């Protein structure tokens, strides 16, 4: 895997079609309240990201991206190794975020290697994005992780067929046991320490297929996924002297679809999937989102509802932020103030009022390269609600980014 | 004898003339493909300006063309791309690629009056429309920057969508080349586009500089074209959603 970087550099030196971009991002997160099990109030993060691609021939392209990062709250590994899998509890200090080769001829495109695969059409929640695990060390400010996969895409007229095979499973990165995004039941008393155990990662291949159709002014897709859920169920092992909590990843099959239809005043987007599992401890359910979006002048507005219907209830204890956003009204709005400033907001409000997450962000471009941002996330609700349980984790983020 | 048939005949003749002029203009300036590097300077109402750069590729002609536009600067928008597929009988299809999200996003018809990525061009202004989508009327003749011009009004045909109720254009009579457009929403002029530095490139008359005024925002954007070329071989597969995602 590692020879990719020298290849990219060689391509650059050889004067091939070489493109690059990246940034240095410095961020401070401030939590005004103590967490249930974490009294850290300030986390500083630094991330250097470099993305490059080299087109070696008209039909062959190499893509690479590396991350180098650190933080003050032990969320990033302290070892100096280069990671390419992104399967650990902690964020790697140095990692290949993407490394892939793209081959294309006529309507056929093949991408091999670590890559990002997005199938969803909706915003905020994408039930059919099954090859898109995320880093949830901060549950509400998260980003996608790449997956090691082979992807074949055939685009023929208005039809696009996508076949994906992921030979090595990439789980979502879940919150750390000793940090504020893991909420312990208040009554829980354990006579022995509870520690994070090694996850039970599934072997085998995850696979999926999608057909997308572009109609006159509308588009729709159907998707199928067979593999494992990248979001875990949490189980416990009794080890002498301690209890180990560990993640298991239930088998999952998805039948899904998405569509976007522009109406005279707004565009309606819908996306949903029916999820089944052979696991005795994973639910069968339907997860969907319906939203309307409109851009008016400098405003972009998105509003909708995400819903869930459980057809077979089996889950004991899981970590499922996607389902955690269901049965909620969701929205996003952004407003461009001139060419260099933007204010935006996002919200998810539970239909029964038991949980609410509201985020506001202000971004200002300071110069060609520098950008500043400030955001505040307010979380409210009850202890039994997925969103509400994080009510002590409202936070502000101040960030500076140097783009190049 | 009633004077109405004569008047209607004259109006019909005028309409035909205007359409013929526009058709002749499109015929004369036809090219199979186009490529340029665009340098955009966006001026805010307060005078502050920012620079953006894009690469532009087009294959085909008015109403039946495909275009790809990809930002190369500033760094924060590098890689953002727009694919436009123009149709002879209807408004174009447009998709935007956002590398940060690794996702393409269809730009809905009703959202195309929005400014394109902080410039004073709207998404609709980036389309190329076939003459069959509009009705034309010759308003008269005027001299603009020392050149005799036809002044032509175009309105979208019934059932054709446009943010503009009408567009008035000035077409140079000597070379059949448009030099100015004024766009109206209801009776209010909302944008003015001026073509400057008109030269022949690869035997095709071209404006090497365009200035778009947004009269509501009171901002303006100057687009300078560099390395402009016509009739170069561009493969069809460059203008697909897959190519948009591949970053080509």
Q: Which residue has the tokens 């984790």?
A: A393
- For residue A5, the model assigns a pLDDT of 56
The yes/no answer to whether this complex scores an ipTM above 0.90 is no
Is B89 an interface residue toward A (CB < 8 Å)?
Answer: no
Enumerate residues 6+ apart whose C-beta is below 8 A from A330: A124, A125, A289, A291, A302, A303, A304, A305, A306, A346, A347, A348, A349
Do the chains contact at A217 and B109, CB–CB below 8 Å? yes
* Residues pairing with B191 in the sheet: B183, B214
Residues of A in Cβ contact (< 8 Å) with B248: 55, 61
Residues of B in Cβ contact (< 8 Å) with A21: 75, 78-79, 99
Instruction: State the distance between the two ends of chain B, measured CA to CA, in whole angstroms.
Output: 66
**Residue A170, min C-alpha distance to chain B (Å):** 18
**Peptide bond preceding A255 in cis form (omega within 30 of 0):** no
A111: closest chain B residue by CA: B246
The torsion region of residue A106 among left (phi > 0), alpha (psi -120 to 50) and beta comes to left
3-state secondary structure of B7: helix
3-state secondary structure of A174: coil
Whole-number Å distance between alpha carbons of A99 and A86: 13
Strand segments, DSSP code E, in A198-283 are 206-214, 219-228, 233-239, 242-248, 251-262, 267-276
Whole-number Å distance between alpha carbons of A5 and A15: 15
Enumerate residues 6+ apart whose C-beta is below 8 A from A6: none
Q: Over the stretch A129-168, which tens digit does the pLDDT of each residue have?
A: 999 999 999 999 999 999 999 999 999 989 999 999 999 9
3-state secondary structure of A199: coil
Task: Give the nearest partner residue to B246 out of A107, A109, A339, using CB atoms.
Answer: A109
Enumerate residues 6+ apart whose C-beta is below 8 A from A43: A28, A29, A31, A71, A72, A73, A75
Do the chains contact at B110 and A294, CB–CB below 8 Å? yes
Are B101 and A118 contacting, i.e. CB atoms less than 8 angstroms apart? yes
Do the chains contact at A368 and B51, CB–CB below 8 Å? yes
Is B103 an interface residue toward A (CB < 8 Å)?
Answer: yes
Q: What is the pLDDT along chain A (404 residues), one digit of tens a residue?
A: 445 555 555 655 555 588 999 999 999 999 999 998 899 999 999 999 999 999 999 899 999 999 999 999 999 999 999 999 999 999 999 999 999 999 999 999 999 999 999 999 998 899 999 999 999 999 999 999 999 999 999 999 899 999 999 999 999 999 999 999 999 876 667 788 889 999 999 999 999 999 999 988 799 999 999 999 999 999 999 888 899 999 999 999 999 999 999 888 899 999 999 999 999 999 999 999 999 999 888 899 999 999 999 999 998 889 999 999 999 999 999 998 877 899 999 999 999 999 999 999 999 999 989 999 999 999 999 999 999 999 999 999 999 999 99
Nearest to A332 by CA among A171, A124, A119, A22: A124
Do the chains contact at A339 and B118, CB–CB below 8 Å? yes
Residues of A in Cβ contact (< 8 Å) with B99: 21, 51
Residue B69 backbone dihedrals phi, psi, to 5 degrees = -130, 125
Q: Over the stretch A365-389, which tens digit does the pLDDT of each residue have?
A: 999 899 999 999 999 999 999 999 9
Q: For residue A316, give the DSSP letter.
A: S
Do the chains contact at B93 and A340, CB–CB below 8 Å? no
3-state secondary structure of A136: coil
Residue B111 backbone dihedrals phi, psi, to 5 degrees = -95, 5
Q: Which residue has the tokens 């359409």?
A: B19
3-state secondary structure of A401: strand
Are A54 and A61 contacting, i.e. CB atoms less than 8 angstroms apart? yes
Task: Give the nearest partner residue to B110 out of A107, A118, A262, using CB atoms.
Answer: A262
* Residues pairing with A48 in the sheet: A24, A68
A→B interface, C-beta within 8 Å: 19, 21, 23, 51, 53, 55, 61, 102, 104, 106-107, 109, 116, 118, 120, 144, 153, 155, 160, 214, 216-217, 219, 260, 262, 264-267, 293-298, 336, 338-340, 365, 368-369, 371, 403-404
Is B30 an interface residue toward A (CB < 8 Å)?
Answer: no
- For residue B7, the model assigns a pLDDT of 46
β-strands A82-83, A94-105 pairing: parallel
Element (H, E) at B23: helix B4-28
Q: What is the pLDDT along chain B (248 residues), one digit of tens a residue?
A: 444 454 444 444 455 589 999 999 999 999 999 999 999 999 988 878 889 999 999 999 877 899 999 999 999 889 999 999 998 888 889 999 998 888 888 898 888 888 898 899 999 999 888 888 899 999 999 999 999 999 999 999 988 889 999 999 999 999 999 999 999 998 999 999 999 999 999 999 999 999 999 999 899 999 999 999 999 999 988 999 999 988 87
């Amino acid at each position: 895997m590692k020879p990719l970087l020298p290849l990219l550099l060689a391509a650059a030196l050889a004067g091939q079609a070489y493109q690059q971009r990246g940034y240095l991002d410095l961020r401070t997160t401030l939590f005004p309240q103590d967490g249930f099990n974490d009294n850290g109030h300030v986390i500083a993060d630094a991330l250097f990201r470099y993305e490059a691609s080299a087109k070696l021939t008209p039909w062959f392209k190499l893509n690479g991206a590396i991350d180098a990062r650190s933080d003050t709250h032990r969320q990033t590994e302290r070892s100096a190794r280069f990671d390419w899998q992104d399967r650990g509890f902690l964020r790697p200090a140095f990692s290949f975020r993407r490394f892939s080769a793209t081959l294309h001829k006529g309507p056929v495109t093949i991408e091999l290697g670590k890559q990002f695969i997005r199938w969803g059409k909706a915003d905020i929640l994408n039930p059919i994005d099954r090859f898109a695990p995320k880093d949830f060390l901060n549950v509400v400010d998260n980003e996608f992780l790449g997956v090691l996969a082979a992807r074949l895409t055939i685009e023929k007229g208005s039809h696009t067929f996508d076949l994906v095979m992921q030979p090595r499973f990439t789980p979502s990165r879940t919150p750390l046991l000793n940090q504020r995004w893991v909420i312990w039941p208040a009554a829980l008393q354990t006579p022995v320490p509870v520690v994070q155990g090694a996850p039970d990662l599934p072997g085998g291949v995850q696979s999926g297929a999608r057909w997308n159709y572009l109609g006159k002014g509308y588009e729709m897709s159907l998707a199928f996924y067979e593999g494992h859920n990248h979001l875990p169920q949490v189980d416990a092992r009794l080890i002498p002297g301690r209890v180990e909590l560990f993640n298991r990843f239930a088998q999952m099959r998805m039948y899904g679809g998405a569509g976007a239809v522009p109406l005279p005043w707004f565009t309606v987007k819908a996306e949903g999937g029916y999820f089944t599992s052979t696991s005795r401890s994973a639910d069968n359910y339907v997860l969907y989102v319906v939203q309307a979006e409109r851009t008016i002048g400098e405003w972009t507005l998105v509003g909708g509802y995400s819903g869930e219907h459980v057809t077979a209830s089996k889950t004991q204890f899981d970590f499922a932020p996607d389902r955690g956003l269901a049965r909620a009204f969701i929205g996003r709005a952004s407003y461009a103030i001139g060419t260099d400033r933007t204010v935006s907001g996002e919200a998810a409000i539970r239909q029964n009022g038991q949980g609410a997450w509201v985020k506001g962000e202000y971004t200002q471009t300071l110069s060609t390269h520098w950008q500043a941002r400030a955001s505040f996330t307010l979380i409210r609700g009850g202890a039994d609600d997925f969103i509400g349980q994080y009510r002590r984790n409202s936070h502000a983020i101040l960030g500076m980014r140097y783009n190049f | 004898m009633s004077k109405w048939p004569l008047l209607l005949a004259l109006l019909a003749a005028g309409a035909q003339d205007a359409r013929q002029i526009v058709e002749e203009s499109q015929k004369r300036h036809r090219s199979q493909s186009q490529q340029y590097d665009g340098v955009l300077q966006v001026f805010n109402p307060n005078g502050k300006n920012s620079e953006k750069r894009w690469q532009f590729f087009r294959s085909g002609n008015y109403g039946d063309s495909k275009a790809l536009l990809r930002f190369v600067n500033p760094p924060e928008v590098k890689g953002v791309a727009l694919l436009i597929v123009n149709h002879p009988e209807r408004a174009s299809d447009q998709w935007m690629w956002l590398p940060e999200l690794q996702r393409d996003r269809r730009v809905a018809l009703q959202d195309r009056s929005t400014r394109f990525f902080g410039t004073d061009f709207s998404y609709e202004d980036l389309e190329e429309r076939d003459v069959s989508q509009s009705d034309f009327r010759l308003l008269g003749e005027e001299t603009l920057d020392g050149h005799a011009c036809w002044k032509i009004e175009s309105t979208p045909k019934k059932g054709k969508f446009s943010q503009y109720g009408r567009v008035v254009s000035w077409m140079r009579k000597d070379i059949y080349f448009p030099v100015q457009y004024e766009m109206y929403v209801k009776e209010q002029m909302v944008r003015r586009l001026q073509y400057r530095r008109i030269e022949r490139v690869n035997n095709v008359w071209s404006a090497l500089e365009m200035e778009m005024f947004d009269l509501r925002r009171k901002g303006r954007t100057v687009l300078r074209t560099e390395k402009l070329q016509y009739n170069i071989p561009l493969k069809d597969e460059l203008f697909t959603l897959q190519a948009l995602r591949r970053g080509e």
